[in-house]
């Protein structure tokens, strides 16, 4: 009796941080992102800043893009001078993520953007940021918690009928408890995106792209909460499921893409 071939897991591109070190800069990605993708049924492919041709070859193999947290975005990309509290700026990473984000949007590839990633998504699409919420938004909540990373510390109100609300299990609108480790945030939402989650101080905590296959940005860190929070688990499960559907729609898979070279074998633009 013939057995149906098991479907390959969707490949999820995850960008990474650049960390200065006395022995030379290092690429770094917290394990929690990789674990959350694997547990949701995806295969992570870590993408550091590389020559453009290599980046294109790696990304041609991917079915979804995850933009993780990290340092601040170069304020030059906002047309602004650096704020005194700006830190951990690496233009190489900014340029990589902006390019991949725009490419994912152009291809309608599933995209999950977390913390800094939400900010990258907004800037890549033409929006702006608060460079430092505590000094630029008087009366804001404390958005850098001292509690462990897996603890939610403030509620986020999600818009009824939004994709993020549906994924979180509160389709009719409601709150999720989020952790918080940021000092920058979305200011003016880019055209093509919509704010769909807020804290009580008005800080935008979730954005999405209506009409797209799956584009969600969240300002919190669900990868740290997947063990205890069903909403965090569902976010990764739905993202990876959307990537699997994208893979199916595009056809072929890893073998053709790897063998044929950058951009080939997937029927992609």
Task: List active site positions.
Answer: 115, 221, 223
Burial class (CB in 10 A: 0-12, 13-18, 19+), 260: middle
HSE on the CB side for 120, CA within 13 Å? Answer: 33
Q: What is the DSSP letter of 206?
A: E
Strand 64-67 versus strand 129-130 pairing type: unpaired
Report the DSSP beta bridge partners of residue 11. 43
Report the DSSP beta bridge partners of residue 44. 12
Strand blocks (E) in 115-164: 129-130, 154-158
CB-based contacts of 222, cutoff 8 Å, min separation 6: 36, 114, 229, 231, 232, 235, 236
Other beta carbons within 10 angstroms of residue 243's beta carbon come to 31
Burial class (CB in 10 A: 0-12, 13-18, 19+), 85: middle
Closest CA to 30 of 70, 89, 87: 70
């Amino acid at each position: 009796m013939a057995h149906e071939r098991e479907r390959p897991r969707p490949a999820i591109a995850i960008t990474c941080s650049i960390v200065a070190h006395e022995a030379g800069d290092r690429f770094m990605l917290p394990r929690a992102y990789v674990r959350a993708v694997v547990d949701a049924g995806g295969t992570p492919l870590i993408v550091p800043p590389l020559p453009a041709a290599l980046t294109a070859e790696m990304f041609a193999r991917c079915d979804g893009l995850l933009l993780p947290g990290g340092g601040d975005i170069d304020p030059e990309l906002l047309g602004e001078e650096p704020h005194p509290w700006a830190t951990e700026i690496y233009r190489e990473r900014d340029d990589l993520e902006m390019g991949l984000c725009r490419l994912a949007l152009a291809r309608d590839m599933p995209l999950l953007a977390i913390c800094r990633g939400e900010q990258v998504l907004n800037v890549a699409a033409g929006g702006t940021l608060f460079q430092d919420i505590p000094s630029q938004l008087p009366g804001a909540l404390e958005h850098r918690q001292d509690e462990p990373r897996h603890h939610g510390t403030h509620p986020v109100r999600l818009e009824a009928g939004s994709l993020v609300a549906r994924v979180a299990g509160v389709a009719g609108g409601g709150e999720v408890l989020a952790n918080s480790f940021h000092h920058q945030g979305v200011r003016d939402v880019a055209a093509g995106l919509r704010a769909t989650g807020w804290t009580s101080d008005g800080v935008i905590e979730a954005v999405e792209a209506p009409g797209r296959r799956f584009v969600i940005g969240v300002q919190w860190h669900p990868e740290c909460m997947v063990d205890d929070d069903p909403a965090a688990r569902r976010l990764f499960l739905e993202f990876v499921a959307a990537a699997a559907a994208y893979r199916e729609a595009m056809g072929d898979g890893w073998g053709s893409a790897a063998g044929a070279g950058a951009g080939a074998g997937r029927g992609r633009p």
